[in-house]
Amino acid sequence: FIGSHLVDELVKQGHKIKIIDNLSTGRKEYLNPGAEFFELDIRDFEKIRPVFDGVEMVFHLAAQPRIQPSIANPRESNGNNIDGTLNVLVAARDAGVKKVIYSASSSAYGLSPKLPLTEDAPADCLNPYSLQKYVGELYMKLFYRLYKLNTVCLRYFNVYGPRQPLEGAYATVIGIFLRQKAKGEPLTIVGDGEQTRDFTYVGDIVRANILASENPKAGGGEVINIGSGKNYSINQIASFIDNPTVNIPPRDGEARDTLADIGKAKELLGWEPRVHIEEGIKNCRA
């Protein structure tokens, strides 16, 4: 869903855009008609390679997202998140692409005890998804060192917004809550609901990607946190949506708390978040 918002903004700015998506989680109605679309899978190198010809910038958002599906099927998520990422990098290198902007994940921080989380905190991968996304970061850095392909890694913190998945394995907590409220169902809170997350609005994520693509200071494989710099408990999110709740058992392999230190994004990219959580949730309902 992030990619569709990014494409909309890039098309609006007058850029010529190519999209690669196998539509396994994406939806055709979100495709911008001003972009050229290739229904391909990034695991198929021979088919995706020609699409990169003539391309200056690559925004690599394709992944099998979410923690629980990766625990259930680690081989499938590995193929998408590691093999697919390597294919994107090799195709970009061979086509002479100027820069790859990689959608990384704050899940790499795991149970890091020190908040807010800074980019130099050690990785603590608790599940296949976080490990795979972290390996993607290492590949970005390696391709800069070995092949001088400019890369930058944006570590997203809990992205939400319009077009987010509302149901199924890839749904986000805010999406699930909004669907449950619309159906008149209680909001399902995992565990005690006191776990906290740094939620980042999709429009702010889009701006970060564009700034990273334009900024010549970002390109050496840097890791940059993209979050709101504030965190909220799941109980607080439920209170914003204002619906009865029910608690369900906690899940393995997930961090208790996340909170981004966004000083590097401010300094290096001139980026900071603009959309507050309550405003963002209202935008999701509109």
Instruction: Note whether 262 and 227 are within 8 A (CB).
Output: yes
Q: CA 25, CA 169: separation in Å to the nearest integer?
A: 10
Residues with Cβ within 8 Å of 106's Cβ and at least 6 positions away in sequence, in order, are 117, 155, 156, 157, 158, 198, 225, 227, 258, 260
> Which candidate in 102, 129, 160, 232 is catalytic?
129
The yes-or-no answer on residue 30 being catalytic is no
- For the record, the structure tokens of 4 come out as 């569709």
Other Cβ atoms closer than 10 A to 253: 16
Other Cβ atoms closer than 10 A to 33: 6
Instruction: Note whether 74 and 128 are within 8 A (CB).
Output: yes
Cis peptide before 116 (omega within 30 of 0): yes
Which residues are catalytic, by number?
129
